[in-house]
Amino acid sequence: MQGLVEDFKNKYEDEINKRTEMEIEFVLIKKDADEAYMNKIHEEEIRELQSQISDTSVVLSMDNSRSLGMDSIIAEVRAQYEHIANHSRAEAESIYQVKFEELQTLTGKHGDDLRRTKTEISEMNRNISRLQAEIDGLKGQKATLEAGCHC
């Protein structure tokens, strides 16, 4: 009986450890996703700036007028940058949402497992109490029968 109680205690502690590991894993995944998001934004910015530089070079070599119209170029670059940033932000949010939902599902499953294990432990404790009471009753009957036989 004591071994059974120890088994359930060990299962309970294992479930707590699993939950802690899942929380740590969530933090690490979030950190990785943040880092990937920032790298992607950086790469998009570099790519966009290189594209703008090459486009600007073409415009400068083809346009012989002295007025470059920097305000419109800056506005266009800003609009493109904002579009890229919004797209990247939406994509990262989608990735975060999927990971978050996966972790919530996993957490819920572990919570259900933990509740089920606690219920099983409670049932086992009730069975232990019931069996202990039966044993005590049988010991009493045995003592009565032994006393009756020695007469």
What is the residue type of 84? Answer: I
pLDDT score at 65: 55
pLDDT score at 69: 74
pLDDT score at 59: 47
pLDDT score at 63: 53
Residue 97 CA: distances (Å) to CA of 14, 20, 38, 63, 141? 28, 21, 17, 47, 65
Compute the distance between CA of residue 90 and CA of residue 86 in angstroms, rounded to an integer.
Answer: 6
Task: State the CB neighbour count (10 A cutoff) for residue 82.
Answer: 10
Contact 79, 52 (CB under 8 A): no
pLDDT score at 67: 58
The H-assigned helical ranges of the chain are: 2-62, 70-149
pLDDT score at 66: 54
Low-confidence ranges of the chain (pLDDT < 50): 58-59
CA torsion through residues 88, 94, 97, 99, sign: negative
pTM of this prediction?
0.37
